[in-house]
Structure 1
């Protein structure tokens, strides 16, 4: 659906050339929700603005639904952009226009007649849950309601792609969750491809299918969200994931342990099975859970545990072999006191 090929975006500043996006290649599939994660300055916003040519790449190609946007100009480019909707962090609504007219504005710009505009705006307001707010002004809306208007406006011309640039970072956690659920519902109903820029891993964990981590304008890791959470390869990725899934055990607890400290990771159905309890009974060793949780990512369980094992050294070694045959990851992280 979206092919980004060797994309580079360079900015000229008083201090010279600065590379915002550095030779990025990426394929985003039809109908998926793809998250691009990075800290401020990583290049993620520059990348998303290049996808719809709000910023023209210095080099490389952007191919959307078979059309190379970088080769289009004038009317052809404007027509192609109609199939790419975009929502922004700070809503970008016109304060002097009602909710109805904020959405209708995009349709009038596309040349739709008044009767069809009224039908389409009514459909969109129902879709985002704001039918009763059609005649109010942005100042009368909450942040979440403003973003719902932004989503409706972005969907006005039936786009194939929806770009979201930090669309939830100005919202409180509960409102963020409601907006994410709305986006996921829209994705499922319309089969629209969503590209979501964020620095919050909770956002990615909640709705994305695949993701990429950016640093210094470069994609340093990419893959299925579940797989990256289960086995992150890069230190920055591990740092992001630790904000959502913590492996840390307080130092005071660690200082009081005497046995072997083991980190266990179980993927899929295995996360809900009694592997650890079976192991403790089978090998008659003592186990003490220090930390543990089962996270649900893409509706699949991921079990993460840190525990202390006590017993004969040889017996513990056998127990670890048993765990290795059942768990996705078994890692000794400490030897106690």
Structure 2
């Protein structure tokens, strides 16, 4: 659906050249939600804007549905851009125009008739839940409502691809969840391919099928969201995942533990099994759960528990072996002195 081949974007500044995107190659499948994660300056916004050539790549190719955008004339590119919608962090609505007029802008640019515009805008405002706001101005809307207008505007010309440039970063958590739910609904209902950039792993966890992590203009890790959350291989990815799944124990818990402190990761169906209670029945150990959390990613459970096992060392060793066999993921954090 979307293919990026050896793409680079170099900016020329007064201090010299800056590489925003560095030889990136990427494939995004039709109908999936793909997240691009990175801190500020990682190159994710530059890469996203290269997908519709708002930023012209310095080198490399961008193909959407087999059409090489980087080889098109300006007129041909304008035509192809009608198939690529885009929503922005700060909405970019025209303050002097009503909701209806903001959404109809792209349709007028595509030379649609008044009748077509009326029907399409009415349909879109119903889709995003703003039918009662068609004649109000952006200043009368909340942040979430403004973003819904932006989504409706981006969908006006029935695009095959929707690009989201930090679409929820300016919103509060509750509104963010509602907007992500709307994007997920649109993805399923319309079969849209959605590409979003973010620095928030909660956003990726909530909506994405696959993801890529960027650093210094390069993709350092890429794959299925669940697999990356459950087994991140790169330090930067581990750092991002820690904002959602990991936790630091208070130092005093590690100073003089009565037993052995372990961290267990439960993946998939094993998270719903009685592994911990089985351990207490099978072995002569007691346990204190120090911390625990289960997240559902792509509707699949992923759990992390930190617990202290207390008892004879031989029994603790047996318990650890048993848990390791069941979960395939156990780390000893601290042994009692």
Shorter-chain TM-score tier: over 0.9
Question: Equivalent residue for 1:321?
Answer: 321
Choose 9-18 or 322-331, whichever is displaced more.
Answer: 322-331
Q: 2 CA distance for matches of 1:36 and 1:306?
A: 30
CA-to-aligned-CA distance 1:72-117 (integer Å, 9 cap, x gap): 1122111111000000000000111110010111001001111011
- How does the TM-score come out when normalised to structure 2? 0.98
Q: 1 CA distance for matches of 2:288 and 2:212?
A: 36
Q: 2 CA distance for matches of 1:80 and 1:31?
A: 18
Q: 1 CA distance for matches of 2:32 and 2:54?
A: 22
Question: Equivalent residue for 2:233?
Answer: 233
Work out whether residues 272 and 303 of structure 1, in 8 Å CA contact, stay in contact via their aligned partners in 2.
no
Unpaired runs of 5+ in structure 1? none
Match of 2:241, SS state, is helix
Q: 2 CA distance for matches of 1:204 and 1:324?
A: 29
Match of 2:34, SS state, is strand
Q: 2 CA distance for matches of 1:252 and 1:285?
A: 22
Q: 1 CA distance for matches of 2:317 and 2:261?
A: 13
Find out whether 1:191 has 2:191 as its counterpart.
yes
Q: 2 CA distance for matches of 1:97 and 1:56?
A: 30
Question: Equivalent residue for 2:245?
Answer: 245
Report how many residues are paired.
337
Question: Equivalent residue for 1:44?
Answer: 44
Q: 2 CA distance for matches of 1:71 and 1:265?
A: 48
Find out whether 1:169 has 2:175 as its counterpart.
no
CA-to-aligned-CA distance 1:308-331 (integer Å, 9 cap, x gap): 112222222222111111103111
Match of 1:124, SS state, is helix
Q: 2 CA distance for matches of 1:254 and 1:73?
A: 64
**Shift of residue 256 of structure 1?**
4.1
Question: Equivalent residue for 1:89?
Answer: 89
Unpaired runs of 5+ in structure 2? none
Q: 1 CA distance for matches of 2:66 and 2:165?
A: 23
- How does the TM-score come out when normalised to structure 1? 0.98
**Shift of residue 10 of structure 1?**
0.3
Question: Equivalent residue for 1:305?
Answer: 305
- Residues 256-295 of structure 1: matches in 2 within 5 Å? 256-295=256-295
Question: Equivalent residue for 1:114?
Answer: 114
Work out whether residues 255 and 336 of structure 1, in 8 Å CA contact, stay in contact via their aligned partners in 2.
no
Work out whether residues 271 and 301 of structure 1, in 8 Å CA contact, stay in contact via their aligned partners in 2.
yes
Work out whether residues 247 and 306 of structure 1, in 8 Å CA contact, stay in contact via their aligned partners in 2.
no
